[in-house]
Amino acid sequence: MPDPSGPDPTVLHPMPEQPRVVLLRPLVTSPLIEVGEFTYYDDPDDPTAFETRNVLYHYGPERLVIGKYCALGTGVRFIMNGANHRTDGPSTFPFPIMGGAWAAHFDLLTDLPNRGDTVVGSDVWFGNGVTVMPGVRIGHGAIVATGSVVTADVPDYAVVGGNPARVIRTRYEEADVARLVAVAWWDWPAEHITAHVRTIMSGTVEELEAVAPA
């Protein structure tokens, strides 16, 4: 009999026949990366290299926070604040990091712009090859189209696309978005989610609210 709580969120490969798919929560080791349960990454080359191949220039202290039940297509990349260069002088070249006598000028790199943590809500779908710039906040239930470059915050349940990414449409009316965020199905107990998968996937806002745990 299947486990009433659903699949195991601690298993690295939730689909053994598809090694290209990994759950990120049991994979990541960096204290600067936080990922919620069942968020997965799909990559035919090496999905287990997510921390080094897909989270770039992550020298800290800013964090990457990704919610629960997110789907990340192949090549989704998060550019972190460590990628920044000075732009207020004649040259943008980061001389001090090359060492030698140039290292004496490392103070020139200590006050670079920092937009803070990059935060992704729950139930977000990223298409293939999306790039997320530093300090962006992406709301719950958002969809980011293939190839997009996200340079600004994305509202809850918005569909965005392009370079830079713009809102194409919203998935629900504003009042319904507020109701969906309030019901927060991704925070329900695992057993309750399992019992109501069909409503979560295909029900109305009213039906979702009706089955929410008391």
Residues with a catalytic annotation lie at 85
Q: Are 134 and 151 in contact (CB under 8 A)?
A: no
Taking the C-alpha atoms of residue 121 and residue 141, their distance in angstroms, rounded to an integer, is 7
Closest to 41 in 3D by CA, of 6, 65, 8, 76 = 76
Whose CA is closest to 130, among 143, 111, 144, 109? 144
Dihedral sign for Cα 163, 116, 57, 25, please: negative
Q: Strand order of the sheet with strand 33-35?
A: 33-35, 64-66, 118-120, 137-138
Phi and psi at 187, nearest 5°, equal -100, 0
Cα distances (Å, whole numbers) of residue 4 to 28, 94, 96, 127, 188: 27, 54, 56, 31, 14
Identity of the amino acid at 133: M
Is the four-CA dihedral 89, 95, 100, 105 of positive or negative sign?
positive
